[in-house]
Chains A and B, each alone.
Chain A
Amino acid sequence: MSITVAKESFFGRLTGWLARSWRSDFAYDFRRSPIAIASLAIILLYVAAASFPSIFAPRPVFDLATLDFSDAFKPPAWLAGGDWRFLFGADDQGRDVLSAIIYGLRVSLFVSVAAVALSVTIGVTLGLVAGFFGGLIDSMIMRIADLQLTFPAMLVAVLVDGLLRASAGQRFHEEYAVLIIIVAIALSGWVQYARTVRGLTMVVSTHNYVLAARMLGRSVPFILFRHILPNVATPVFVVATIQLAVAIILEATLSFVGLGIPPTQPSLGTLIRVGNGYLLSGEWWLAIFPGLALLILVLAVNLLGDFLRDALNPRLK
Chain B
Amino acid sequence: MTGFLAQRLGQALFVLIAVSALAFLMFHYIGDPVVAILGANSTGLQRDELRRQMGLDGPLIVQFFDYMGRMLVGEFGLSYRLGLPVSRVLLERMPATMELALVGMVIALAIGIPAGIYCALERRSAASRLVLGLSLLGISMPSFFMGMLLIFLFSVMLGWLPSFGRGETVNLGWWTTGLLTASGLKAIIMPAITIAVFQFAMILRLVRAEMLEVLRADFIRFARARGLSRRSVHLRHALKNTLVPLITIVGLQLGSIIGFAVVTETVFQWPGLGLLFLQSVAAADIPVLAAFLIFIALVFVTINLVVDLCYYVVDPRLRLADRSTGAA
A295: which of B29, B140, B286 is its contact (CB, 8 Å)? B140
Q: Is the CB of B19 within 8 A of A257?
A: no
Interface centre among B142, B260, B266, B284 (most CB of A within 10 A): B142
Main secondary structure of the interface of A (DSSP, over half): helix
Question: Residue B15 at the A interface, CB < 8 A?
Answer: yes
Q: Is the CB of A151 within 8 A of B142?
A: no
**Complex contacts, B293 vs chain A, CB 8 Å:** 151, 159
A272: which of B29, B139, B148, B266 is its contact (CB, 8 Å)? B148
Q: Is the CB of A294 within 8 A of B145?
A: yes
Q: Which of B1-9, B94-102, B251-259 contacts A (4 or more CB under 8 A)?
A: B251-259
Considering the complex of A and B, which 6 residue pairs feature the smallest CB-CB distances, nearest first?
A: A152-B259, A162-B281, A166-B284, A154-B259, A299-B140, A298-B140
Least CB separation from B257: chain A residue: A152
Least CB separation from A296: chain B residue: B140
Least CB separation from A165: chain B residue: B284
**Complex contacts, B258 vs chain A, CB 8 Å:** 152, 155
Question: Residue A96 at the B interface, CB < 8 A?
Answer: no
A: number of interface residues (CB 8 Å): 41
**Cα distance A258–B140 in the bound complex, in angstroms:** 21
Question: Residue A147 at the B interface, CB < 8 A?
Answer: yes
**Cα distance A167–B259 in the bound complex, in angstroms:** 23
Question: Residue B311 at the A interface, CB < 8 A?
Answer: no
Q: Which of A15-23, A58-66, A213-221, A248-256 contacts B (4 or more CB under 8 A)?
A: A248-256
A sample of 7 cross-chain residue pairs with beta-carbon separation below 8 angstroms, ordered by A number, consists of A150-B297, A153-B259, A154-B262, A155-B262, A253-B143, A279-B151, A291-B142
With A152-B256, A284-B152, A302-B136 as contacts: A162 and B289 at CB distance below 8 Å = yes
**From residue A294, how far is it (CB to closest CB) to chain B in Å?**
6
**Complex contacts, A306 vs chain B, CB 8 Å:** 136
A166: which of B136, B259, B286 is its contact (CB, 8 Å)? B286
Q: Is the CB of B26 within 8 A of A303?
A: no
- CB within 8 Å of B: which of A144-191? 146-147, 150-155, 158-159, 161-163, 165-167
Q: Is the CB of A154 within 8 A of B260?
A: yes
- CB within 8 Å of B: which of A258-317? 258-259, 272, 276, 279-280, 282, 284, 287-288, 291, 294-295, 298-299, 302-303, 306
B residues in contact (CB < 8 Å) with A:
14-15, 18-19, 26, 29-31, 136-137, 139-145, 148-149, 151-152, 155-156, 163, 255-256, 258-260, 262-263, 266, 277-278, 280-282, 284, 286, 289, 293, 296-297, 300-301
With A279-B152, A287-B148 as contacts: A152 and B255 at CB distance below 8 Å = yes
**Complex contacts, A302 vs chain B, CB 8 Å:** 136, 139-140
**Cα distance A100–B266 in the bound complex, in angstroms:** 24
B136: which of A150, A280, A284, A299 is its contact (CB, 8 Å)? A299
**From residue B130, how far is it (CB to closest CB) to chain A in Å?**
14
Q: Is the CB of A163 within 8 A of B256?
A: no
**Complex contacts, B137 vs chain A, CB 8 Å:** 299
**Complex contacts, A299 vs chain B, CB 8 Å:** 136-137, 140
With A162-B284, A259-B282, A299-B140 as contacts: A280 and B156 at CB distance below 8 Å = yes
**From residue B168, how far is it (CB to closest CB) to chain A in Å?**
22
With A287-B148, A299-B140 as contacts: A151 and B278 at CB distance below 8 Å = no
**Complex contacts, B289 vs chain A, CB 8 Å:** 159, 162
With A152-B260, A257-B263, A279-B156 as contacts: A245 and B140 at CB distance below 8 Å = yes
Q: Is the CB of A163 within 8 A of B145?
A: no
A253: which of B31, B142, B149, B155 is its contact (CB, 8 Å)? B142
**Cα distance A245–B142 in the bound complex, in angstroms:** 10
**Cα distance A299–B278 in the bound complex, in angstroms:** 27
**Cα distance A279–B289 in the bound complex, in angstroms:** 31
**Complex contacts, A163 vs chain B, CB 8 Å:** 26, 30
**Complex contacts, A152 vs chain B, CB 8 Å:** 255-256, 258-260
**From residue B119, how far is it (CB to closest CB) to chain A in Å?**
15
Least CB separation from B137: chain A residue: A299
A150: which of B145, B266, B278, B296 is its contact (CB, 8 Å)? B296
**From residue A173, how far is it (CB to closest CB) to chain B in Å?**
11
Q: Is the CB of A294 within 8 A of B266?
A: no
**Complex contacts, B282 vs chain A, CB 8 Å:** 162, 258-259
Least CB separation from B144: chain A residue: A256
**Cα distance A36–B84 in the bound complex, in angstroms:** 54
Least CB separation from A152: chain B residue: B259
**Complex contacts, A146 vs chain B, CB 8 Å:** 15
Q: Is the CB of A257 within 8 A of B278?
A: yes
B296: which of A155, A257, A294 is its contact (CB, 8 Å)? A155
**Complex contacts, B140 vs chain A, CB 8 Å:** 245, 295, 298-299, 302
Q: Is the CB of A259 within 8 A of B281?
A: yes
**Cα distance A258–B282 in the bound complex, in angstroms:** 8
